[in-house]
Amino acid sequence: MIRQGLLVWIFLHATLPILLGQDYLFTSHSLPEEWHSARPGVICQDRDGLIWLGTREGVFRYDGTDFVHFPLNKEGNKAENVTALFSASADRLWIGYDDGRMGMLEGSGMGFIEEVEFVEGGLTASVTGFAEDGEGRLWISTYGQGVFVIHQGQMIHFDNGDGFPDNDVYCITADETGAIWLGTDNGLVHCAYDGSTKLTERFSESDGLPDLIVKAVKHDRRGNLWIGTHDGGICRFSPSTRDWFVPEASWEWGEITAIEEVGGQVWVGTA
């Protein structure tokens, strides 16, 4: 495969066969002409199978036929560079923006996204992701202000002032047990909050990471975490056994920007 914009690797059942010389079918779907400059940057699928796109000009929903634009608030007159999307429980879609704003679309959404502010002026860094833990609490990762969790209506903040390893968080995910994992500029981090105490555990190169800068984290159906890094490629980590597996000791295909599991296969996108 040619490294040109996107390289896709397929990991089958934790092995490394690379599928070469096969034909793939790609179908292009374009936003309406009036939104040609929107440039999608993030994408997610909700529980009903609808596709949501986060762009430089807001959120679009695609139902297989038409694109519908959802502005932030009724006025829709603010800059809307979307940096994170998350389909949550209770039929909610969470949206994060590059200036720290957050929005929520519930049900039909009445045609616009409702802006949500948990703490006035408390979040100004770019939102990089959302996750729900085992108790149904919403976690929010940022690039510059660490991570937040919403606990009983309050926003609890984890940053490097209270032991969090790094405020620059690239990604966040919850594994099958509901545990929260984050990729940062300073390793892989496990976070928890018991209602009174902030708990963090950091994993670095001395533990088995091939590189300290973690750009993508995804759990698979076997309970493993697949971790994509800036320079060291990909590795697999088992939270239950604490075993590490690095399939490629000499990674030559650039930084990993995305990981997804589809049908038992782990797909990796690189830049």
DSSP 47-83: TTS-EEEEETBEEEEE-SS-EEEE-BTTT--S-B-EE
Are 166 and 174 within 8 A, CB to CB? no
Q: What is the pLDDT of residue 24?
A: 60
Query: Are 62 and 29 in contact, with CB atoms under 8 Å apart?
Result: yes
User: pLDDT by residue (tens digit) across 178-197?
Assistant: 999 999 999 999 999 999 99
- Average pLDDT (11-32) is 58
What are the tens digits of pLDDT across the range 59-97?
Answer: 999 998 999 998 887 665 567 899 999 999 888 999 999
pTM of the model: 0.86
In SS3 terms, 204-253 reads as CCCCCCCCCCEEEEEECCCCCEEEEECCCCEEEECCCCCCEECCCCCCCC
**pLDDT over threshold 60, residue 11:** no
Q: What is the mean pLDDT of the chain?
A: 86
Nearest to 132 by CA among 124, 141, 123: 141
Q: What is the pLDDT of residues 145-168, one digit of tens each?
A: 999 999 998 889 999 988 899 999
Q: What is the pLDDT of residues 98-145, one digit of tens each?
A: 999 999 998 755 567 888 877 655 789 999 999 999 999 999 999 999
Residue 247, pLDDT > 90, answer no
- The answer to whether the beta carbons of residues 133 and 178 sit under 8 Å apart is yes
User: Maximum Cα–Cα distance for the chain, whole Å?
Assistant: 55
Per the CB < 8 A criterion, the answer to whether 226 and 217 are in contact is yes
Question: Which of 43, 42, 38, 100 lies closest to 71 in space, CA to CA?
Answer: 38
Contacts 24+ apart (CB under 8 A), 32-40: 32/67, 35/60, 35/67, 35/69
